[in-house]
Amino acid sequence: MQLDIIGVDGSKQYGCYLCSMLLGESVLLDAGSASMLSGSQQQNVEMVLLTHAHLDHVLELGFMIDATVTIRDEPLRVMGSRACLEIVRKHYMNDLIWPDFSRIKTSSGPTLVYQDIQDRKWFDLPGGLSAWAEPVCHGAGARGFIFRSGTGSIIHTGDTGPTSSIWKKAAQIEDLKMILAEISFPDSKTDVAIASNHLTPALLEAELGKLGRSDVPVYVFHLKPWERHEIERDVARRFSDRVVILRRGDRLEF
């Protein structure tokens, strides 16, 4: 299974791309940079899976459904925790900020359908993947995920501060191929990271200690763009080569 990195930044500035990763061709994980997919890529996406409802993760969902509404045969499925989807419906796709596409129907039916995730149960995704959703320490209905393809599994923390249950679940996964984890702030801004439920390199090191799998490669994302240089220095000093900072355009396989 291929994982294409469409955007990884933890906020928006010139030259930055908000979080979106393409799992195979059919599943878009977070929609911060959904508009950066080509028209045919957007058309191929069957499901947008949201880690949570914060703006940097849902921003371009509205533009993506708008751009593909007339060319879709099937509704776009938008999946997330119940709390996450409630926020998206009530505060974004609400016929005020943006149309409620779940009520816009073409001859082939609704253009968008919402589907709640059931926590802590494996569920199937398009393209032959299965996923496990685990509540993490962050607002807006946040979940981390474990994804399982036919050949391996990965963990994706989504946005989170220090947490534990997702690491306990990950410890049971024998074919764990990689860990994708957030880092938002450098070690010098630990107070801000804790207050906003995010990680620093030092906090991530403590999280990885909970899993205790030094053989599994770690990729990080969600850096605040204005903190990038300091985070890069912290990561290099603390982890040497074990932790790689993801960039737009990277492709991982599992």
- Single out the segment in contact with Zn ion by CB under 5 A; choices: 42-50, 52-60, 108-116, 245-253: 52-60
Q: Does residue 60 touch Zn ion according to CB under 5 A?
A: no
Amino acid at 91: H
Place of tokens 């989807």: 85
- Single out the segment in contact with Zn ion by CB under 5 A; choices: 22-30, 48-56, 165-173, 239-247: 48-56
CB burial class (10 A; 0-12, 13-18, 19+) of residue 40? Answer: exposed
CB of 184 to Zn ion, least distance (A): 7
173 or 204: CB nearest Zn ion = 204
**# residues contacting Zn ion (CB under 5 A):** 3
Q: Does residue 56 touch Zn ion according to CB under 5 A?
A: yes
- Single out the segment in contact with Zn ion by CB under 5 A; choices: 35-43, 50-58, 76-84, 205-213: 50-58
Residues 18 and 55: their CA atoms lie apart, in Å, by: 9
Name which position in 9, 159, 207, 227 contacts Zn ion (CB under 5 A).
Answer: 159
CB of 222 to Zn ion, least distance (A): 6
99 or 139: CB nearest Zn ion = 139
Residues 70 and 72: their CA atoms lie apart, in Å, by: 6
Residues 125 and 23: their CA atoms lie apart, in Å, by: 10
Tokens, residue 62? 């509205």
- Single out the segment in contact with Zn ion by CB under 5 A; choices: 39-47, 56-64, 229-237, 241-249: 56-64
Tokens, residue 171? 């410890």
Cβ contact 33:60 at 8 Å: yes
Residues 155 and 224: their CA atoms lie apart, in Å, by: 21
Tokens, residue 11? 């906020």
Tokens, residue 248? 């737009």
Tokens, residue 207? 């999280």
CB of 177 to Zn ion, least distance (A): 24
Q: Does residue 54 touch Zn ion according to CB under 5 A?
A: yes
54 or 156: CB nearest Zn ion = 54
Q: Where do contacts with Zn ion occur on this chain (CB under 5 A)? A: 54, 56, 159
